[in-house]
Structure 1
Amino acid sequence: MSRGLYRAALALGLACASLAPARANGPELPVIALTAGMYRIEAEVAATPQEMQTGLMHRESLPDSRGMLFMFRQPGTQCMWMRNTLIPLSVAFLRDDGTIVNIEDMAPQTETSHCSTEPVRTALEMNAGWFDKRGLKPGATIRGIPMR
């Protein structure tokens, strides 16, 4: 699928979602509503290689119910690192149906790889401990992920 077609398909999938500016200094990313059980998440969507590489870099804080959803083009063992990321994060790697495969805690400003334990196309970053504080473990489901 061409980059333009992929972006158009993603935009169509997000059309019913609430879109809002995601950053004060940087490109605006679409924000969608996700749920994890009774918890609501406002997730910025990073879908291009540049958006995913930048991720949550240089931010000094992240609201408690805010996160970033990474949407990779192909399933694979996805790995995340924390270069230039100032806040501690937890990342949940997700199957296409939203089931959490594994969750990794990541220390700020490190380049240690934190990888999915099976091929996935989606990962959700939240403040460190967010999943644990809510009792969300592998096998739990995140709802509202756009279809590809």
Structure 2
Amino acid sequence: MRPSAFTLVLVLSVALAGCSQPIVGDDPPNDTDGAADVTNSTDENATATFVTDEGNATVSLEVADTSEERTRGLMYRESLPDDHGMVFVYDDADDRSFWMKNTYVPLDMIFVAPNGTVLNVEHAEPEPNTSTADLESYESDGPAQYVVELERGFANRTGVDAGAEIVFHDDLRDR
């Protein structure tokens, strides 16, 4: 007996649905062995300047604007150069939630509104061997369209806090 076309489509749909992985900000993805690929997870870089009461601080950022890049983030990195990090770019503003699964470098997570205003800064500790159920969650204080991750201490050193501004020198939306 041959299966119907409907049955084949249904089986393929279920199989493909099982292959998807959530983006950063949703529930944490299943742990994968990505330790072999510790190079930059993005092909593009951007430059941005934080404008604070204490002055300006310019940074170089890897751009994570696809689901795969956002899921991978800065996992498995053992260090970051000074004033270098990653910007997570989303199509729209929404409440964001991040974690430190398989991340070895302590980070400042800077949640940014669509207009470039910093909503809040979270100081995150590495959780490289923590089970998904036990991961700490770091959340935005409102709808964020961008999340910038830099080595922990950057925000305190430069005065970046809620209300500061970030100016992207590259158009992140046209990527």
TM-score range, shorter-chain basis?
0.7 to 0.9
Instruction: Pick closer, same or farther for the CA change 1:147–1:87 going to 2, 3 Å.
Output: closer
Distance across 2 between alignment mates of 1:72 and 1:28: 15
Distance across 1 between alignment mates of 2:88 and 2:112: 10
- The Cα offsets for residues 71-98 of structure 1, whole Å up to 9 and x where unpaired, read as 1223211111100000100111001121
TM-superposed deviation, 1:41: 0.4
TM-superposed deviation, 1:104: 0.3
Identity across the alignment (%): 33
Distance across 1 between alignment mates of 2:146 and 2:108: 14
- The Cα offsets for residues 95-114 of structure 1, whole Å up to 9 and x where unpaired, read as 11211000001110152110
Using the size of structure 2 for normalisation, the TM-score is: 0.67
- Equivalenced residue count is 126
Using the size of structure 1 for normalisation, the TM-score is: 0.78
- The Cα offsets for residues 23-51 of structure 1, whole Å up to 9 and x where unpaired, read as 97354421111111321100000001110
Q: Within 5 A, what are the aligned runs for 1:1-148?
A: 25=39, 27-37=41-51, 38-109=56-127, 111-144=135-168, 146=171, 148=173
Letter matched to residue 69 of structure 1? V
Residue 106 of structure 2 contacts residue 151 of structure 2 at CA under 8 Å; is this kept in 1? yes
Distance across 2 between alignment mates of 1:121 and 1:86: 25
* SS, match of residue 142 in structure 1: strand
Q: Which has the larger radius of gyration?
A: 2
Gapped runs of 5+ residues in structure 2?
Answer: 1-36
Runs of 4+ in structure 1 off by over 4 angstroms are none
